């Protein structure tokens, strides 16, 4: 009797599996819809991209951070070229994030805490237009959020916020050795004396 009940239960389970399998074949979107995440992108620059990358890689809801260059006059710039400050590019990061876990507005709040938005073309000892504070918006909603963020931030500082808010230009991925720089070089001098204290200040390490 127990054996018969077991076989009957097993048969029902198999039938259910077959039914689900057939549904996924006839309606593959039903499976895709359950797992698909609509990630969004933000482009921010706040000084050396080694710093900003290290910060945002530790933020919940951020899927990927890529260091690169944007806003200059020549295509496919190299690090050596942008370091002259003559190409017009800024060191920026492209952030791919899940808007269901973190909003663009929250990313801007982190950005404001992670650098000094009141120093023109400078962050600490890093001086030049390539280190300017910039929000490169990809939509009108990002533009509005950035303008509101800047206005709010101006009320917190004695000096004016100089962060530029501009339409996103073409983004160029930086050389491979710049990617995940802090994780790859945790004991390098810049990482020890600049990045690590910043992460500790933000309570990210």
Q: What pLDDT, on a 0 to 100 scale, did the predictor assign at position 35? A: 57
Rounded mean pLDDT, 86-111: 98
**Residue that wins the pLDDT comparison between 135 and 31:** 135
pLDDT band at residue 108, thresholds of 50, 70 and 90?
very high
Residue 191 a catalytic site member: no
Domains located in the chain, CATH noted: 40-201 (3.30.1060.10)
Q: Cβ contacts of residue 26 below 8 Å, gap of 6+?
A: none
Q: What is the mean pLDDT of the chain?
A: 88
Measured between its terminal Cα atoms, the distance across the chain in Å is: 61
Q: Which of 48, 51, 83, 191 is catalytic?
A: 48
Cα dist from 162 to 22, 53, 82, whole Å? 58, 21, 21
Q: Per-residue pLDDT tens for 37-88?
A: 899 999 999 999 999 999 999 999 999 999 999 999 999 999 999 999 999 9
**pLDDT > 70: percent of the chain:** 83
Instruction: Work out the angle at residue 173's Cα, subtended by the Cα atoms of residues 171 and 179, and round it to the nearest 5 degrees.
Output: 135
Rounded mean pLDDT, 154-162: 94
Q: What pLDDT, on a 0 to 100 scale, did the predictor assign at position 37? A: 80
């Amino acid at each position: 009797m127990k054996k018969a009940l077991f076989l009957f239960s097993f048969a029902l389970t198999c039938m259910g599996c077959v039914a689900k399998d057939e549904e996924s074949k006839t309606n593959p979107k039903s499976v895709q819809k359950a797992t698909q995440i609509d990630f969004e992108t933000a482009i921010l620059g706040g000084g050396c991209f080694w710093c900003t990358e290290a910060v945002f890689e530790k933020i919940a809801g951020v899927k990927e951070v890529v260091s690169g260059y944007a806003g200059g006059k020549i295509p496919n710039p190299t690090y050596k070229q942008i370091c002259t400050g003559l190409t017009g590019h800024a060191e920026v990061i492209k952030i791919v994030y899940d808007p269901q876990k973190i909003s663009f507005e929250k990313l801007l709040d982190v950005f404001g805490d992670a650098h000094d938005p009141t120093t023109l073309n400078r962050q600490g000892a890093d001086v030049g237009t390539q280190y300017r504070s910039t929000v490169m918006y990809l939509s009108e909603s990002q533009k509005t959020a950035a303008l509101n963020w800047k206005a709010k931030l101006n009320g917190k500082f004695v000096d004016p916020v100089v962060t530029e808010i501009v339409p996103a230009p073409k983004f160029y991925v930086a050389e491979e050795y710049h990617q995940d720089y802090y994780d790859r070089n945790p004991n390098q001098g810049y990482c020890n004396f600049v990045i690590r204290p910043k992460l500790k200040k933000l309570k990210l390490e």
